[in-house]
Every structure is written in structure tokens, then in C-alpha cells.
Structure 1
Amino acid sequence: MLRPDVSLDDQQGVYDFYLDHQQNPLLARLAYAALSARYRPRVSFAPGAEESIRALLSDGTSLIIAANHLTDSDQYILAATAWQTPLRSAIGRTRVLAKDELFREPKLRKRIDMMGGIPVFRSKNHGLRAVSDAGRRMMEISAERVRRGDSLAIFPEGTCNTEDPARVQHVNSGIGHIASRAGKLGATPALLHLGISYGPATATVKSASVHVGHPVTEIPAKPMEIARTVQQHLQETVDEARRRY
């Protein structure tokens, strides 16, 4: 299938493409390894989390990974973290929700596609009414990718936190709708929360502190309940990442 321009005017074609798009796993692993060497995050785990993540992935369980959002480099920190943890085994089978403007410049789009990106048309850029259909379609294909066995990484706050990096912003219901839809399709994903801290200077993204929470396997049924669960656990991992910085 031809690679379409990522445009809201062609949202149907865009999401038809990303429903089946698959990056080269070898190139993805090389890129994740390079990002790990460049950014060198210091990763810590909740008690038993490392072993539980490894067991879940070994059993074929998809993970819906939620991380707080502080800078435009956060996706690279997540990739570097994946390389250093049991998440390495999911490289090449992980989708990453990313704002649509990252797909406009060809060279950058190539990198985002290689990392498993799925574009998100945000209301702050296009208006709520304009993106409503695209948002529903994005959640549908994200849930379907989870059903197929992919993991999914999301920054559920929806935008960078420029106010108070110590406090997780409001978690939007999108992550809840995706998890709920995946469940209705027959998937049994687990939620995984990653807290990122850059210490007192968020402009310095190297040597970030990243804390990985224990996977949540008992997921509520309703989207808003899922969003509240994510809010709670994400705040706990952010608190710990800041404490360990």
C-alpha cells in the first residue's frame, strides 16, 4: 500500500495505512539501541515489575504503556528505556501514538514510522469538531493493533507539561477508550506506567530518571475508570522517578 501524506483531509487513507503498517524490526532494534547509547536513562523498577513484564511479554500479553510528557524528546527516552528493559523483546511490535506534525517532514517521518508511529490529529491544532472522526478511527485501529498482539505506547496527558513536572496533568479518556475497545475485541492487555524525570532542568534530557511501575492486569471496564487508574499509577511512578533522580 502506498504511503499516504498524513493529512486530516485524508484521514481514512492515513488510518487504513497504519492499520497494517509494519516497520523493519532489525532497523527498529538498531535505532532503539542507538537512542539508549545517546540518552542513557537511569531506569528503576517497582518491586517485582521487571520479572512481571518479562513474563507477560513471554506469554504474548500486549502492554498499553503510559508515560508522562515533559519534552519533545520523551519518545526517545521511552525508546532508550525499552532497550534497557524487558520491553526490548517488544521492539518492532510496539505502536507509538505521535502528533501528526511529526509525520510531515519526510526524514523525520521515516524515523517515526520506523519506531512504529501512529499519527494523532489533535484538537488543539485542528479544532475539536474537525478531529472527532479521526480520533474515533485512531482509537479503533490502536485497539485492533493491540488485539493483534502489538503493544502500544501513549502519552495520555496529550500535551507537554510546561507548568509543573511534579504533577501529572489530566489524563484524557482516549487511553481508556483504546483499552476498553481492545477488551471488547477479545484482547487482555496490561497497563504499564513509566514516570520520567529530568530533575530540576527539563532542558537536560540526558541521564533522565525513569521509573517503571508494576503492570496492572486487572483493568476496569469503563473508559473513564481506566483513565483514573492511569492517572493514579502514573503519578506514583513520576513521584518515584523524581525521588530517584
Structure 2
Amino acid sequence: MTRPDVTLENYDDVYRFYLDHQQNRLLARAAYAALSARFRPRVRYADGARDRLRELLSSDTRLIVVANHLSDRDQYTLAATAWRTPLRRAVGRTRVLAKDELFVDPGLRRKIDMMGSIPVFRSKNHGLRAVADAGRRMMDVSAQRLHRGDVLAIFPEGTCNEGDPTRVQRINTGVGHIAVKARKLGTAPALLAIGISYGPDRSADVHVAAPVLELPGTPMDVTRLVTAELQGAVDHAVAAR
């Protein structure tokens, strides 16, 4: 299928394409490795988290990875973190939700398509009512990709934190809806929170929390859990500086 223009008016074709899109896995692994070498985040784990994560990936447990959003650098930090952790085995089958404006420039789009991104039309750019149907379609596609075996990575705050970087912003309920939709498809995803903190030199400290296997049954309760887990991971990342 030809790559459609990523515009809100064209959202149905956009999500039909990204439901099945698969990047070149060898190129994706090379890109993640290069980002790891360039950004070199200092990764720490909660007690037992590394081994538990390795076990979950080996058993093909679906994962929803959530990270806090501090700057435009975060996507590279998260990719570098993935390469330095057991998440490396999921490179090439990881979907990353990314704002739609990143898909406008053809050169940049090729790069983020190669990283496995799925576009998100944000209400802050288009208006809440305008993005409602596209948002529901995006959540359906995300849940289906999880059900098919992909890892899903999300910055659930939805926008960069321009206030206190030590405090997680309001979490959008989309992550909760995706988890519940995946469960209705027959998949029980686990939650993995990753906290990011940058120093004055822009180097990153990253904390990988213990995975949570049992998620609540409603979107709102999942969202509350994501908020708590992500704040805990951020607290540890900040404390490591």
C-alpha cells in the first residue's frame, strides 16, 4: 500500500496503512544501536525488573511501555534505552505513538517510519472534537498491533513538560483505552514505566520500573495506575542524578 499523506482529513487511510506497516527490522536495529552509542543513557532498574522484563519478553507477553515527556530528545533517549535493556529483542516490532507533524517532512517520515511510529492527531493542534474519530481509530490500531505481538511505546502526557520536570503531567486516558481494547481482543498487556531525567549537560538518567502484569479493568483505573507507576519511575531517575 502506498504511504498516505498524514493529514487529519485522511485519517482513515492513514490508520489503514499503519495497521499493517512493518519497517525493515535490520535497519531498525542499526538505527537503535546508533542512537544508543550517541546518547548513552545511564540505565538503572528497580529490584528484579531486568530479569522480570527479560522473562516477559521471552514468554511473548505484550508490553505497553510508558515514558515521561521532557523534550524532543526523549524519543532518542527511549530508543537508546531500549537497545541497552532487554527491550532490544523487541526492536523491529515496537510501535511508538508520535505526533502527526513529524510525518510531514518526507525525510523525517522515512526515519520515524523505520522506527515503527504510528501518528497521533493531537487535540492541542486540531481541536478535541476534530480529532475524536481519528483518536478512536488510532487506539483501535494500537490495540490490534499489541494483540498481534508488538510492543507499544507511549509518551502518555501527550506534550513536553514545560513546568516541573520532576512531576508527571496529567496523563491522557488514551493509554487506558488502548489497554482495555487489547484485553477485549484477547490480549492481557503488561505495563512498563520508564522515567527519564536530564542533567545540565543533557545527559540522561533512566529508571526502568518493575513491570506490572495485572492491569485494572477500566480505562480510568489504568490511567491512574500509569500515573502512579510513571511518577515513581521519574522519582528514581531524578534521585539518580
TM-score interval (norm. to shorter): over 0.9
What is residue 78 of structure 2 aligned with on the other side?
A: 78
TM-score if structure 2 supplies the norm length? 0.99
Q: How many residues align?
A: 241
CA distance in 2, matches of 1:215, 1:10: 36
Partner of 1:121: 121
Counterpart check, 1:244 vs 2:237: no
Residue in structure 1 matched with residue 130 of structure 2 by the alignment: 130
Q: Cα deviations across residues 168-214 of structure 1 (Å, max 9, x unaligned)?
A: 00111000000010001001110000000003x3xx43x30000000
Measure, in 2, the Cα distance between the counterparts of 1:230 and 1:57: 20
5 Å-filtered alignment, 1:1-245, equals: 1-199=1-199, 201=200, 204-205=201-202, 207-245=203-241
Aligned to 1:64, the other structure's residue is in SS state strand
Q: Deviations over 1:91-110 (max 9, x none)?
A: 00100000000000011001
Distance in 1 (alpha carbons) for counterparts of 2:124 and 2:194 = 25
> SS state of the match for residue 82, structure 1?
helix
Equivalent-residue separation in structure 1 for 2:141 and 2:74 (angstroms): 23
> Once superposed, which parts of structure 1, at least 4 consecutive aligned residues long, lie more than 6 Å away?
none
Alignment RMSD (CA, Å): 0.6
SS of residue in 2 equivalent to 1:92: coil
Write the distance in 2 (CA, Å) between the matches of 1:106 and 1:36.
24
SS class of match (1:218): coil
Deviation string, structure 1 residues 30-86 (Cα, Å, up to 9, x no partner): 000000000000000000000011000000111100000000110000000000000
Structure 1 runs not aligned, ≥5 long = none
| Cα deviation 1:101-123 (Å, max 9, x = unaligned) | 00000110011000000000000
1:124-175 residue CA offsets vs partner (Å, 9 max, x unmatched): 0011111000000000000000000001000000100000001000111000
TM-score (norm 1): 0.97
